Amino acid sequence: MIINIINNMKKALLIGLMFTSILSFSQTRVQELNVPDALQVKAYASLVKAIDNEYTPGEVITIKNTVIKRKKAVNYDYIDLGDTYYDLQTNSSPGRRIILHADGTVSAVWTTSPDAGTGYPNRGSGYNHYDGANWLMGRDSKIESAGRTGWPTIMLIDDGSEMTIAHESNTGGFITSKNSAKGNTSFNSSNAILDDLTEPNSNRVPIWNRSAASNGKIHIISNYWASEANGVPVVTRKGVNSPTTYSRWDVNGDSADIAHVLLPGYDSTLFAAGGGDSYAIDVRDSIVAILLGGLGDPVSLWKSTDNGDSWTYTDVDSFPFKGQRSAARLLLSGDTALSNDGSMDVMIDPSGKVHAFWGLGRVLGAEPDGADTTGFSFFPGTSQIRHWKEGDVTSRIAGSGFDLDQDGQFNVTAETYSSLDANQNVPANLLSATRTGNTSLVTMPSSSADENGNLFVVYSAPVENQLHFLNANYRDIMVSYSTDGGETWMGPQNLTQDGTQECNFPSAAKVANDYLHVMWQQDATPGTFLQNHSASAGSHPNEINTMKYAAVPVADIINNVIGNDVRTASVDNLKTAEVFVVSQNQPNPFQGTSEVLVYLRTSSKVSLTVTDILGNVLNQGDLGVMNAGNHKLSIDANGLSSGMYFYTIATPEHQVTKRMQVK
């Protein structure tokens, strides 16, 4: 079946759709609309070239005659910020992971783990800094002195130091880490703050922070995690399950002057449930902007001009179905509705005007399950980034997928937009399932502005015809820009243009100078190990991911010279027997033996070689011919002294080398 992304899709057109497994998204019951034999998503190719300013029901984007601009031999350098085995940088919204300082230096953070141990016990915040000449080297370990943290935000404090805030995932609350000055790698970490002890022994677990600093205050939004299996109950306030709350931390007093309050008007008439990472925050002087959303929820803006003391509310997308009974009312409407996919960003431009960005979603009310009226279904194949600016009545398109083969359609395989089923298996007739949470095809916007008033939004999108051998499209990082304050948008252009690697989870510094400062995660396999690995299929190995950075010339973006050319990758070669997936060895570090998972497309000869850091071969063996499918290989380190080594698994034509640590 082909999902056609068009508007006003009536319920009558949905006859014969098959409901697949229930997906977990906050406390709302969510189902994916899908059908057997879905091979491609075909959408009107929104090339975002001289885009229409308004969006109305039934809108179809006119496809312009566009020549694919060939990328120059070198547009800009990619910098390796650090490596991580933990590969899920967000559930939906990117967050503030990179900042451009006034002197041109840059700092970046991400969720890292130096090893692939079960549960990632050493998970924390990775950090790197550019001092104007060089980046720090070997930034693979966390900066926190204790705790298992994740999803960090980085801020510059008024005294010139840097502070990160990351959640303590075991018990809730947030750990702050502060250095003495930007670029200093020595951080002092706090005990958990804002862990919400309003009700003693209530097991409240606030996590997933988004934070921003100004005027001696840190403004924080977060959500409550709940897990029946782990004995963590659902927090319900004003009828909203797992609500999103606002806190304000006083830097000089090192204490909260506002802790976990609901924003004015935030109740069950607006939201049925909160959602982890489905929100964004920005500050500029005394202006604070908070944007909340979620799949099947409205895009809601709260703005403060007095540093968070008072707020005004704006219904950004005029989503007509709000609150606890939104899904039931949507079902009764007999139509689908445009929503957001939970990925969003908010930005205050130099004039003080607020801009909102989100990945477009499409939802349908589901049949109520007894007293449950919160269930709904969604279409995973939507492919637009929407933009709204303060004063607008309607939003506009700011980004999309790119019609690389110029056939008038955005063609993407089912593996690209599917998820694992309820039993964590790859759906029937697919080779993999690589969707991040319940996000759409085009997703995760992150915005920036320069002093000339130019606006930029980077985002993640799959690339046509660039397929991993497990049949999922690789993703790249796209950019669109506006030179008129967001009235019109031009793009997309492909910033990463790899074609043989997955580039995902983009984050742009809010401020651009002559360069747009962007970071992302690069992986050899589409999707993530944490959300897309099926043990039975071996669909996504637990392997090292690299955090990347690029300073992209603004002049090149605005002059449209980056283009959309993608490094040539032979699909035929990718699908031969010699290409395979090799996982990171587990455990690592280890003593004695460690196992490696190898996936072969078809049968092939396989060999294993172990070398030291100087390249000396310590062990080499021919493993014979192995059949197609998964194989577990054992690496024997008995007799090796502690240290770093490399193992190479090879076929006659190709090989993969990874490093391992012997205790």
Listed residues 540, 555, 573: the one ending a domain: 573
CATH code of the domain containing 634: 2.60.40.1930
> In whole angstroms, what is the distance from residue 192 CA to residue 215 CA?
23
Whether residue 476 sits in one domain with residue 583? no
- The reply to whether 492 and 628 lie within a common domain is no
Whether residues 559 and 621 fall in one domain:
no
Residues 6+ apart with CB under 8 A from 378: 30, 31, 32, 33, 295, 296, 339, 361, 362, 363, 364, 438
For residues 418 and 412, give the distance between their C-alpha atoms in angstroms, rounded to a whole number: 11
In a domain, 545, yes or no: yes
Alpha helices in 554-614 (DSSP H): 554-558, 571-574
320: Cβ contacts below 8 Å, ≥ 6 apart:
337
Task: Report pLDDT for 73.
Answer: 44
Q: Would you say residue 16 lies in a domain? A: no
Residue 482 shares a structural domain with residue 599: no
For position 472, which CATH number holds? Answer: 2.130.10.150
Instruction: Give the span between the Cα atoms of 497 and 479, in whole angstroms.
Output: 12
Query: Which of these three, 573, 588, 616, is where a domain ends?
Result: 573
Answer whether residue 169 is part of any domain: yes
**How many whole angstroms separate alpha carbon 529 and alpha carbon 649?**
20
pLDDT beneath 70: ranges in the chain: 1-75, 200-201, 366-374, 567-581, 601, 629-630, 653
Is the domain of 569 the same as that of 583?
no
Both 545 and 564 in one domain: the answer is: yes
User: Can you give the residue range of the structural domain that contains 293?
Assistant: 79-573
- Alpha carbon distance 334, 354 (integer Å): 34
What number of residues does the chain have? Answer: 663
Last residue of a domain, one of 554, 573, 592: 573
In terms of Cα–Cα distance, which of 387, 295, 397 is closest to 347? 387
Strands (E), 272-368: 279-284, 287-292, 300-304, 312-315, 337-348, 354-365
Q: Tell whether 554 and 609 lie within a shared domain.
A: no
Query: Does 72 fall in a domain?
Result: no
| Buried b or exposed e, range 550-589, using 16+ CB within 10 angstroms | bbbbbebbbeeebbbebeebeeeebeebbbbbbbbbbbbb
Residue that the structure tokens 């990082």 belong to: 477
Residue 244: both structure tokens together: 């999103």
Measured CA to CA, the distance from residue 645 to residue 249 in angstroms comes to: 46
557 and 603 together in one domain: no
Q: State phi, psi for 530 to the nearest 5 degrees.
A: -65, -35
For residues 558 and 580, state if they share a domain. no
In a domain, 7, yes or no: no
CA 248/CA 459 separation, integer angstroms: 29
Question: CA of 397: how far to CAs of 47, 61, 385, 443, 471, in Å?
Answer: 10, 9, 6, 13, 29
**pTM given for the model:** 0.82
Number of H helices, E strands in the chain: 5, 43
Domain count, the chain: 2
Report yes or no: 454 and 481 within 8 Å, Cβ to Cβ.
Answer: yes
Longest dimension (CA), the chain: 70
Same domain assignment for residues 563 and 624:
no
- Start-to-end C-alpha separation, the chain: 52
Residue 366 lies in a domain: yes
* 40 token code pair: 């491609």
Residue 558 lies in a domain: yes
Q: Looking at the structure, do residues 334 and 219 belong to the same domain, yes or no?
A: yes
Do residues 335 and 9 touch, judged by C-beta distance below 8 A? yes
Q: Which token pair is 41?
A: 């998503």
Let me know if residue 37 belongs to a domain: no
Q: Residue 638 carries which DSSP code?
A: T
Q: What is the DSSP string of 397-456?
A: EEEE---TT-SSB--EEHHHH----TTS-PPTT-S-----TT--SSEEEEEEEETTS-EE
pLDDT at residue 576, as a whole number: 40
Give the count of beta carbons closer than 10 Å to the beta carbon of residue 364.
Answer: 23
Residue with tokens 């930034």: 139
Residues 331 and 453 in one domain: yes
Quick one: the chain helix, strand, coil %, rounded to 5? Answer: 5, 45, 50
Distance CA 650, CA 657 (A): 9
- DSSP-derived secondary structure for 380-405: TT--EEEEEETT-SS-EEEEE---TT
Task: Give the side-chain half-sphere CA count within 13 A for 564.
Answer: 26
